Structure 1
Amino acid sequence: MRGPVRWVLWDVKDTLLKVRRSVGEQYHREAERAGLHLLPAQVESAFRQAYLQHSHLYPNYGTAQGMNGQVWWTHLVKNVFSQCGVQDPAVLDTLASNLYKNFCGPENWEVFPDSGSVLKSCSALGVKQGVVSNFDSRLEGVLRGCGLLTHFSFLLTSEEAGVGKPDVAIFTQALKKCAVPAKNVAHVGDHYVNDYLASRSLGIRGYLLDRQGHQRHLDVPPQHRLQSLDELPARLQQETD
């Protein structure tokens, strides 16, 4: 018996909320507002390429190279539209500034229907809650705008931590904030490596959220899988490993 769960740590993107429309679509809409006529598929392709490149060259928002989230995203947006043939520096500056602001609040994010209810249920059980997310400094504003911020005792972003999942160092920092043994902490996320394997490697009770039932990882037993967040409160009251 491992004792009761006293903390639940949460991933955010694709666990509690998701991007309302594809990034390519939102970038395309912003381009249209600037009077540019680009194909949505072209913008989406350019974004994917730029994102992979920036993530490789400047991981975790370039914190190790003295960058921050805003600088990182500004460079990325300019790269995207430069690939699409936009050369005017003033236009690129406007696009980068507007798109960064667009993702600061709730307008471009959609909360999953089960998120609010499970956060309330966990609080009703007397469980404290925190966030461990590969997100930048905009996370607090996003969660506040989406009505979720008050459920959390702390937010730990990879930008703040200086390291991102699946590096266990970010979970180690989170455990220090919890001030309880790992065995009394659960973590919920949708990514097999970043969330499930990384958290469980430290003895945290990792749960893999698989809303569509598409993740076929044979080493994840049924009691560690969630198809809906509504399943979590009952799991937390069970003494299963």
Structure 2
Amino acid sequence: MAARQGRTTHKSKSNRGLRLAATPFDSVSPMGTTPEFTPTTCYENWGILIVSNLVEAISFDAAGTLLFPKPSVGVIYQKVLAAHELVLDCHQLEQAFQASFKKVKKDPSIPEPEIRERAYWKTVVAESILRLTSLPNNFETVFAALWQEFAKGSRWRLNEGVFDLFDFLDSRGTPFVLLTNWDARVRSVLIDHGLQDRFSYLFISCEIGFEKPDRGIFDFAASSLSIKPRNILHVGDHYNQDVLGARNAGWMAAHFACANESATEDANTVSRLGELCDRFEFA
């Protein structure tokens, strides 16, 4: 992706409201540099020694970490399709979506991020339907309805313990941010859940011009926070995008895996957000 000036949302300690902040890309550390690493805290996790710096800021992935489809992608697809006279089984739709989501890639030849995101999701939806039946004649209308449906907070549930964790971080004065490959619809979801004022920044890939695991989005965030990468912790559910992406940028990383998922052996894995309070030392 072409680098461009991103839009972030900043929360100051004196004013909990939102304002736009601009951080020049010239201030981002050069690619390929390795931040100095000074371990201060050690933890034992599944037989592996976890070495951690003092956490001065923490970033969270959105979907799959803080937010989950409610009740499921398959059920949401089923209801929207049924409203447009296409009846399909929700379990089959869920399976079709998961397979398409893993297969479909974003088209780098589309320069405008917002257009690229919409084209990507249109392909995911089309592939999902085509795995079960032919595309309906009103597919454009169906896709537009699905696009808007997933912009509603009512279609997303919050991870258990989100507000408790945020209150804990606020009590410590630890800034926390959103760092996501989602598109701008995440803003309306956050507003619906009353989270729009909680984050110090919203780093949304389509607004910044870099996507995880590209180091550019992590460097941009570290520069905006004015905190050394080694003292920032990123939490996410995608091993390559979140864990390896953060580590390659010199950050600490925690892999969020639901209780029914297996822990990643070489990652600091948590199954509950509250575990972060016990696993890491916060400034």
TM-score band by shorter chain is 0.7 to 0.9
**CA shift for structure 1 position 43:** 3.4
Letter in 2 for 1:21: P
Tell me if 1:33 matches 2:77: no
Residue 120 of structure 2 is matched in structure 1 by: 72
Q: Secondary structure at the match of 1:203?
A: coil
Query: Quick one: which amino acid aligns to residue 272 of structure 2?
Result: S
Shift of 1:120: 1.4
Identity %: 25
Aligned counterparts of 2:55 and 2:234: Cα–Cα separation in 1 = 10
Q: Does structure 2 retain, via aligned residues, the 8 Å contact 1:116–1:148?
A: no
**2:274 match:** 230
Listed as ranges, the matches of 1:57-96 within 5 Å are 58=107, 64=111, 67-81=115-129, 84-88=133-137, 91-96=138-143
Please tell me the residue identity of whatever aligns with 2:90: P
- Cα distance between partner residues in 1 of 2:258 and 2:151: 26
Q: Does 1:146 align with 2:196?
A: no
**Any idea what SS the aligned residue of 1:219 has?**
coil
| SS in structure 2 at match of 1:151 | coil
SS at match of 1:13: coil
Instruction: Answer whether contact 2:263 2:269 (CA < 8 A) is retained.
Output: no
Paired residue type of 1:146: H
Find the counterpart in structure 1 of residue 228 from structure 2.
Answer: 181
Residue among 116, 136, 155 paired with 1:108: 155
Q: What is the count of residue pairs matched by the alignment?
A: 231
User: Contact 2:235/2:256 (CA < 8 Å) preserved in 1?
Assistant: yes
User: Which moved further from structure 2: 183-192 or 44-53?
Assistant: 44-53
Report if aligned partners of 1:78, 1:93 keep a CA contact under 8 Å in 2. Answer: no
Per the alignment, residue 16 of structure 1 pairs with 66
Q: Which has the higher helix share?
A: 1
Q: Specify the SS of the correspondent of 2:104.
A: helix
- Using the alignment, how far apart are the partners of 1:228 and 1:155 within structure 2? 22
Distance 1:48 1:229 in 2: 24
Equivalent position SS for 1:21: coil
Report 1:159-174 matches (<5 A): 159-174=206-221
Q: Distance in 1 between matches of 2:91 and 2:128?
A: 12
The answer (yes or no) to whether the contact 2:56–2:282 under 8 Å persists in 1 is no
Report the CA distance between 1:132 and its aligned residue.
Answer: 0.8
RMSD across aligned positions (CA):
2.6
TM-score normalized by the length of structure 1: 0.83
User: CA separation of 1:35/1:145 partners in 2, compared to 1, >3 Å: closer, same or farther?
Assistant: same
Residue 131 (structure 1) aligned with residue 131 (structure 2): no
With structure 2 as the length reference, what TM-score do the two structures score? 0.72
**Counterpart secondary structure, 2:274:** helix
Which stretches in structure 1 are left out of the alignment for 5+ residues? none
Matched residue SS, 2:177: strand
User: For 1:48-63, what aligned pairs fall within 5 Å after superposition?
Assistant: 48-55=98-105, 58=107
Aligned AA for 1:164?
E
Q: 1:103 to 1:6 in 2, by over 3 A?
A: same
Q: Which residue of 2 aligns with 1:121?
A: 168
Unaligned runs of 5+ in 2: 1-38, 41-52
1:183 and 1:34 map into 2 onto residues whose CA distance is: 50
